[in-house]
Amino acid sequence: VQSIIFVHLLHFIVIALHLGQLSVILIPPYNPHTSLYYSIYDWHGKNSYDTCPK
């Protein structure tokens, strides 16, 4: 029973990460949380440095 819960938890984390990627479009660049999302974006090979202020 515990393993089933763990799989659901793992799946939820994956979905949360993908939602984080999508929220890059929705959250303004000045929001401090976007740096995490931009780093996830870059990890997936997306070129986000053009839109991310230095």
> Is residue 52 scored above 50 in pLDDT?
no
Rounded mean pLDDT of 42-51? 49
pLDDT at 48: 46
Q: What is the pLDDT of residue 3?
A: 82
pLDDT per residue as tens digits for the range 1-45: 678 878 888 787 777 776 666 555 555 554 455 555 555 555 445
Spatial separation of the C-alpha atoms in residues 16 and 35, rounded to whole Å: 16
Phi, psi of 34 (to 5 degrees): -70, -25
What is the reported pLDDT for 30?
A: 46
